[in-house]
Chains A and B, each alone.
Chain A
Amino acid sequence: MSVKTEPEAVSTIGESRGERIRRLLSSRLASAFAVGIALIWTIPTAGLFISSLRPEDDIRATGWWTFFGDPSFTLETYNYVLYSTSQGGGLIRNLINTVVITIPGVIIPVTFAALAAYALSWIQFKGRNLLYIGIFTLQVVPLQMALIPLLSFFSKGLAIGPLTLMPAWQLTGVQTIVQVWIAHSIFGLPLAIYLLHNFMRELPTDVMEAARIDGASHSQIFRKVVLPLVTPALASIGIFQFLWVWNDFLVGRTFGGGEATRPLTAVLGDMAGTWGFGWTRLPAAAFVAIIVPLLVFLLLQRYFVRGLLAGSVKG
C-alpha cells in the first residue's frame, strides 16, 4: 500500500481537477464514510426483513432489534400473504398481475419511443423540431391531471355533441388490463422519447450517411445500425420504465377493473384490514413487493448509472 500512495502524493502537483476529486473520493476515509452511510441506509430495510420473518405476536410486542437477543422466526407470514385465499392475502395473484402489467408496460413504450426518437433525430420532415418540443414539454403535465379524462375516454368514449368519435370500450374484469398498458405507455413515452432522442442524436452522421449511400432504407438503418448502437440506452430506459411500472400504484388502481387486474402495490396497503389491525403482515408483503426490483437493481446497476447520466453530459 505504502508504495502505491507515494506516487499519488507526488502527483498532486500536476493533477487535474477531475483527478483530484477522484483521489479524494477514493481515499480510505471517504470509503469508510460511504460504507457508514450505506449501513445506515440499509438499517430500515434490514429491520423490515427481520420483521417479516418474526411470528405475529413478536412483531406486535417488541421491536425487530430484539430478534438478536431472542431469535425466533417463521415463514408463516410469507405463506399467508402469498397464498391465503382470503381478502387479506393471496399476493401471488397480484404478483402475477403486476408481471402481466409490467412486461407490456415496458415493451410498448420503449418500442414506440425508439421508433419516434429515430424519426425525430434522423428523418427530415417539416415541423420536426416543433413536434419534438411538443413531446418534450408534455413531461410537464402531471399524470394525476390526466387520470380522470383518460379514464372517461376509455369508459365513456369520445363524442363531440351528438357525434360519436369513438364508442365506449366496454371492457370489464381482466380485459381492463389493456387500459392499464395503454395508460402506462402514454405516461412513459415523453421521457423515453426525450432520452432516446438524445442518445440517437449523438450517433455519428458519417455512419448514417455511409449506410444511406450503401442504399439502406430508414427501416434498415434503424434495425441494423441504430438499434445495436443504442442498446445500452434502451436497456437503461427499459429499467427505469420497469421500476416505474412495477412500483406504480395510481395508474394500475385507477384503470384496472377490480380484483382481476389489481397490481401488488394496490393491495399492499389494504392488507392491514379495515381497522389496520393486520399490519403485522405488511413487512412480509412489502418484501414480496421489493424483491424483484431489488434483483433487477443489483444485477443491472451498470445500466442505471448510465441512465442517470443520460442527457446530462454532452459529448
Chain B
Amino acid sequence: MSKTRRLMCLAAATSALALAAAACGAPEEEESRGEVPAEAEDCANYEQYGSFDGETVSILGSIRDAEADEMVEAWSFFEECTGITIDYEGSGEFESDMKVRVDGGNAPDIALFPQPGLMENFADDLVPASDEVNSLATEGWSEDWLQYGTIDDTFYAPPNSGNAKSFIWYSPSFFADAGYEVPATWDELISLSDQIAADGVMPWCVGFESGGATGWPGTDWIEDIVLREGTDLYDQWVNHEIPFNDPQIVAAIEKAGEVLLNEDYIYGGTDTISSTPFQEGGYAILDGECAMHRQASFYGAMWPGGTTVAEDGDVFAFRFPESNEGDNTMLVGGEFVAAFNDSEAVEATRQFLASELYHNTRLQTGPWSTAHQGVDPANATTPINEFATEILTDPAVTVRFDGSDLMPGEVGASSFWTGMVQWVDGEKTSEQVADDIENSWPN
C-alpha cells in the first residue's frame, strides 16, 4: 500500500467513525430524577450570598455519576443567581488526587472529604469555618456530627450528605408471609436467623467483593457490633486508645462470626462471601433465596431496575438491632465540606452548602439523605432515604462515624479490609486477624 493510500485509509476510517457517532445523537435523559423545588428557583433566596461576576469555585469530591448530576442540579440556581460558576470534579482516586494537588500547591477551592481522618492530614492548608458557617453548622447538625468536622478544637467542615449505615435489608412481604417479626435486639436477630434457617431459607446474604477495597462491608459489620457494645468502647477503639486486639474487640469479631462464619446462615456458603460483589450481594432476597442483607442506606439505589424499595414493596431495611437495652445508635457515613481558599466566592459557596436551602433542595433532586436538622424528611425522593433522613435528623439517636474512615489509612483502608477477607475465608481466626491489624497500626 502506498503512503497516500494509507493516509486516506486512516482518514476514511476516522471520518466513518465520527459520522456513525454523530448519527446517534444525544441520548435521552434518565427519568426517576427529582426536581429542584420552586422555592429554590427564586433568586430572592440567594441574595444574601451576594453577587459575583464570572468567579469560579472548583470543588473536588468522590461523588460521581448520577449522584454528582443530582448534586450539581441542587446548586444550579445558586450558580445562576450569584454568578458563581462551580466547577465540580468527581474523582474515583480522591485520596491520592488530594495529596498530589495539595502538595503541588494546586488544591481545589473546596473538597468534599468522605473521610474525616483524611481531612486531618490537610489541616495546615484548610481554611477554618467563618463565624457564619460556624453558626449555620451549629444550627444544622448535632454535636456528634460537628466533632467530625473539627480538628484540634477548630471547626473546619460542616457535613454534606449523611448515610445511615446500620441497616439490614429484607423483603417485607417475605417476612409478612412467614410471620417473621423485625428483630429489635441482637438475640432476637440470631433467633430469627435460626428460625428462618429451620424453615429452609438461608437467613443471610453477604458480599464483600469491591475491587481494590474488597472487605470493607466486613468492617461495617464489626463497627456496627462494637458500636452496640458501647459508644465509649467504640470511640476508644477508633481513636486507638485501646489496641485493636483488645479482648472486647476480639469478642465483637467473634460475635459477627456467629452470622458471617455460620455455614447454616450464609446463602451460597461462607466461602463465597469474599468473591460476591457487594453491589449484588443482596439480590437473592428478591428471589426469596435469602432473607437479610446488611448494607447502608445507599444500597437502595443498587437494586435491579423494577424493584420497589419501600416498606410495602419488594425490599426495605430495618435498623441494625441494639445489644444493650435503651441504646439508640446509628453508624453513619458522609462527606465534609472543607475549603482551601478564603475568597469571598468560596465563602459564599460554603455558606450555601451548609444552608437548609441546599440540603432541602438536594433532598429533592434525587435519592439522598442528610443529617441537617432543618430539612423535612418527607422531601426525600425515596422511602428508604426518608427513613434514613428521619433517623439522621433525630436528636435522640447517637451517631458515630464509620470507624474505618476515621482510622489511619494503613488500617482503615488496608489491613482492616484484608483482615476481614482472610477472616471470612477462614484463613485466620478472629484473634489472629485482630493481632495483624494491631501490628499494622502506624505509631
Task: Show the binding face of A for B, using Cβ within 8 Å.
Answer: 57, 60, 75-76, 78-80, 82-89, 92, 147-148, 150-152, 154-156, 168, 172-173, 253-254, 257-260, 262, 269-278, 291, 295-296, 299-300
Does more than half of chain B's interface fall in helix, strand or loop, or is it mixed? Answer: mixed
- If the complex has contacts A83-B27, A155-B104, A172-B56, are A270 and B64 also in contact, measured as CB distance less than 8 A? yes
Q: Provide 15 A-B residue pairs closer than 8 Å at the C-beta atoms, listed in order of the A residue.
A: A86-B65, A86-B66, A86-B68, A151-B100, A152-B103, A152-B104, A154-B106, A253-B93, A254-B101, A258-B89, A269-B92, A272-B92, A275-B301, A291-B17, A295-B13
Q: Are A274 and B67 in contact (CB under 8 A)?
A: yes
Q: How far, in angstroms, from A275 to B104 measured CA to CA in the complex?
A: 28
Q: How far, in angstroms, from A75 to B24 measured CA to CA in the complex?
A: 8
- B138 CB to nearest chain A CB (Å): 29
Cβ contacts under 8 Å, A271 to chain B: 64-65
- B418 CB to nearest chain A CB (Å): 19
Q: How far, in angstroms, from A155 to B101 measured CA to CA in the complex?
A: 10
- A197 CB to nearest chain B CB (Å): 26
Cβ contacts under 8 Å, B90 to chain A: 87, 270, 274
Q: How far, in angstroms, from A257 to B104 measured CA to CA in the complex?
A: 13
Contact partner, A88, options B25, B66, B103, Cβ 8 Å: B66
Q: Are B9 and A87 in contact (CB under 8 A)?
A: no
Binary flags per residue of B66-78, CB closer than 8 Å to A gives 1, else 0: 1111001000000
- A158 CB to nearest chain B CB (Å): 12
Q: Are B10 and A299 in contact (CB under 8 A)?
A: yes
A88, closest chain B residue (CB)? B65
Q: Are B87 and A173 in contact (CB under 8 A)?
A: yes
Q: Are B10 and A277 in contact (CB under 8 A)?
A: no
- B54 CB to nearest chain A CB (Å): 11
Q: How far, in angstroms, from A276 to B212 measured CA to CA in the complex?
A: 12
- A87 CB to nearest chain B CB (Å): 4
Cβ contacts under 8 Å, A86 to chain B: 29-30, 65-66, 68-69
Interface range for B: 35 or more
**CB of B26 within 8 A of chain A?**
yes
**CB of B305 within 8 A of chain A?**
yes
- A155 CB to nearest chain B CB (Å): 4
**CB of B38 within 8 A of chain A?**
no
Cβ contacts under 8 Å, A148 to chain B: 100, 103-104
Q: Are B65 and A272 in contact (CB under 8 A)?
A: yes
Contact partner, B65, options A60, A78, A85, A274, Cβ 8 Å: A274
For window 409-441 of B, CB contacts with A under 8 Å fall at none
**CB of B442 within 8 A of chain A?**
no
Q: How far, in angstroms, from A254 to B105 measured CA to CA in the complex?
A: 11
Q: How far, in angstroms, from A259 to B87 measured CA to CA in the complex?
A: 7
- A288 CB to nearest chain B CB (Å): 9
Count chain A CB atoms within 10 A of each CB in B10, B30, B106 and give the residue with the most.
B106
For window 198-244 of B, CB contacts with A under 8 Å fall at 210-211
- If the complex has contacts A270-B91, A274-B67, are A151 and B305 also in contact, measured as CB distance less than 8 A? no
Contact partner, A253, options B97, B279, B304, Cβ 8 Å: B97
Cβ contacts under 8 Å, B30 to chain A: 86
Cβ contacts under 8 Å, A60 to chain B: 304
Q: Are B305 and A87 in contact (CB under 8 A)?
A: no
